[in-house]
Amino acid sequence: MNVSTPSASIPRHVAVIMDGNGRWAARRRRPRAIGHRAGARTVNLCIDFCLARGIGALTLFAFSSENWGRPEEEVGALMKLFVGALDREVDELHRRGVRLRFIGDRRRFSEAIRGRMAAAEARTADNTRLTLTVAASYGGRQDIAMAARSLAEDVAAGRLRPDEVDEAALGARVALADLPAPDLFIRTGGDLRISNFLLWQLAYTELWFTETLWPELGIEELEQALGAYASRERRFGLTGEQIANAQDAVPGEGHS
């Protein structure tokens, strides 16, 4: 109970499921890849929004571990889009003080994409305005399983005692462990689920959903999401009265 309450109104970390690109394209009788291309424009809008509003971390679910099972043509188009975005956008992101990182199983990407990811991370590593994390070939269960494996390896090697395996030890080994947990989760496209995104990290995150398809999301709706966030009372398992009495004491901060 020794950490401060997150700022009342502005989330420090926003996590987003960018859903609805395929439906956006289908409504226009266009290939799904065109929807993803339109979705990439909304990514830029979202980054601009976070920079303008002083949000320090943005995590985007760009490609799930399950998305590899989509039709080959769509996976290929998404890979082309990622390469193009990495080639085109990194200079500008760097100039604007964005630190770019990737989470997920990058062994499944081609050498060309892995190289670009590593180069973009190295180039932007010292930037501090916004940490932009792209979840690619990412799955929340896989994330937790890998953290559990890392703990098991340390126990087997005698570096850790079994009774040292606790929430803090596991939480330190999942993705994004160095960032505050997401304060606000946004999902576009109308589905009301988490879809194996940041399962551990979203434990106390405020959830916000919209029917709007990702390519059509605009600043007004992002403002609405922030407004909804600001109006919520975050109790972290405590009572409203306790929170009111101890504005500066919230348990589990960092992984709450």
Q: Which residues are catalytic?
A: 19, 67
Residue nearest to ligand FPP (CB): 22
Supply angle C-alpha 60, 62, 68, rounded to 5: 150
Of the pair 76, 237, the CB lying nearest ligand FPP is at 76
Contact 10, 255 (CB under 8 A): no
Of the pair 1, 45, the CB lying nearest ligand FPP is at 45
State the DSSP code for 79. H
**Could you tell me the sign of the dihedral formed by the alpha carbons of 203, 205, 206, 208, in that order?**
negative
Single out the segment in contact with ligand FPP by CB under 6 A; choices: 18-26, 111-119, 224-232, 243-251.
18-26
The backbone torsions φ and ψ at residue 32, rounded to the nearest 5 degrees and listed phi first, read -55, -35
CB atoms within 10 A of CB 103: 18
C-alpha R_g of the chain: 19
Identify residues 121-140 at the interface with ligand FPP (CB under 6 A): 134
Residues near 30 by beta carbon (within 8 Å), at least 6 away in sequence: none
Residues in contact with ligand FPP, shown as a per-residue x/- string from 65 to 94 under the rule CB under 6 A:
--x-------------xx--x---------
Shortest distance (Å) from residue 45 CB to ligand FPP: 11
Single out the segment in contact with ligand FPP by CB under 6 A; choices: 55-63, 148-156, 157-165, 218-226.
55-63
Of the pair 150, 196, the CB lying nearest ligand FPP is at 196
Contact 45, 217 (CB under 8 A): yes
Q: In angstroms, how far is CA 143 from the centroid of its own chain?
A: 13
* Binding test (CB under 6 A) with ligand FPP, winner from 6, 13, 36, 255: 36
Of the pair 20, 140, the CB lying nearest ligand FPP is at 20
Q: Is 43 in the site for ligand FPP (CB under 6 A)?
A: yes
Q: Is 106 in the site for ligand FPP (CB under 6 A)?
A: no
Residues in contact with ligand FPP, shown as a per-residue x/- string from 188 to 227 under the rule CB under 6 A:
-x------------------------x-------------
d(CA 206, CA 160): 34
The backbone torsions φ and ψ at residue 174, rounded to the nearest 5 degrees and listed phi first, read -85, 170
Residues near 25 by beta carbon (within 8 Å), at least 6 away in sequence: 31, 32, 33, 34, 35, 36, 38
Shortest distance (Å) from residue 26 CB to ligand FPP: 7
Q: Is 21 in the site for ligand FPP (CB under 6 A)?
A: yes
Of the pair 182, 189, the CB lying nearest ligand FPP is at 189
Sequence ranges of the binding site for Mg(2+): 19, 206
Sequence ranges of the binding site: 19-24, 32, 36, 64-66, 68, 70, 187, 193-195, 206
